[in-house]
């Protein structure tokens, strides 16, 4: 791995961690558990488009562990892993398909993250009624996924001006 690549990867991990911390300080006015802005997903999306799936996956998993041990618990890490893995898998599959723009890919990631978390929550608490949270979480995933996708597209476009990125 090239030194520049390692340095970029380290900076992206730090940025994702910082954005996760900032997100913990921003109150979400919707009284539904699990709704977040998804700021760190912006970094994962940019990593997916600029470095590839492997690096984006590793970045996401490292961020989840760091944030879980720093600001959360083992249970929050479990939910984050489920959401992160499903989200990134969907984004990678549809990125390769070329069917969606980066914003569309980000929306799929936001929706996938919420679905993954609800599935794990239903398994952990053994209550299928949690599925009733899904419509509200889908709306939040759609909104935050759109914003993250639009900002991510601007970032990737700007980065491509200065250096060629992985397609």
CATH number at residue 47: 1.10.1760.20
Q: Find tokens 């978390």 and name the residue.
A: 117
What is the span of the domain harbouring residue 33? 3-162
pLDDT, tens digit (0-9, with 9 covering 90-100), for 64-78: 999 999 988 888 899
Look at residue 93 and tell me if it is in a domain.
yes
pLDDT of residue 26: 84
Q: Count CB-CB contacts under 10 A for residue 63.
A: 24
Residue 167 has a pLDDT of 46
Strand, coil or helix: what is 59? Answer: helix
- Kindly tell me the number of DSSP H helices and DSSP E strands found in the chain: 6, 0
Q: Is residue 167 part of a domain?
A: no
pTM: 0.89
Check: CB of residue 109 under 8 Å from CB of residue 85.
no
Distance in angstroms (rounded) separating the CA atoms of residues 133 and 160 = 39
Domain count, the chain: 1
Q: Which residues contact 10 (CB under 8 A, 6 or more apart)?
A: none
pLDDT of residue 164: 57
Positions of the chain with pLDDT lower than 50, given as ranges: 167
pLDDT for position 13: 95
95 found inside a domain = yes
Alpha carbon distance 147, 101 (integer Å):
13
| Residue 50 · residue 165 · CB < 8 Å | yes
């Amino acid at each position: 791995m090239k030194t520049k690549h390692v340095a970029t990867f380290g900076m992206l991990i730090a940025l994702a961690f910082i954005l996760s911390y900032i997100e913990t300080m921003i109150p979400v006015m919707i009284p539904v558990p699990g709704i977040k802005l998804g700021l760190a997903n912006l970094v994962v999306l940019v990593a997916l488009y600029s470095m590839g799936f492997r690096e984006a996956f590793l970045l996401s998993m490292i961020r989840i562990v760091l944030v879980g041990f720093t600001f959360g618990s083992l249970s929050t890490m479990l939910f984050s892993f489920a959401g992160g893995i499903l989200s990134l898998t969907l984004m990678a599959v549809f990125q390769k398909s070329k069917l969606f723009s980066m914003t569309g890919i980000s929306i799929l990631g936001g929706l996938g993250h919420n679905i993954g978390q609800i599935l794990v929550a239903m398994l952990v608490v053994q209550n299928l009624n949690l599925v009733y949270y899904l419509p509200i979480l889908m709306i939040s995933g759609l909104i935050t996924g759109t914003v993250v996708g639009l900002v991510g597209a601007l970032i990737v476009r700007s980065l491509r001006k200065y250096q060629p990125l992985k397609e």
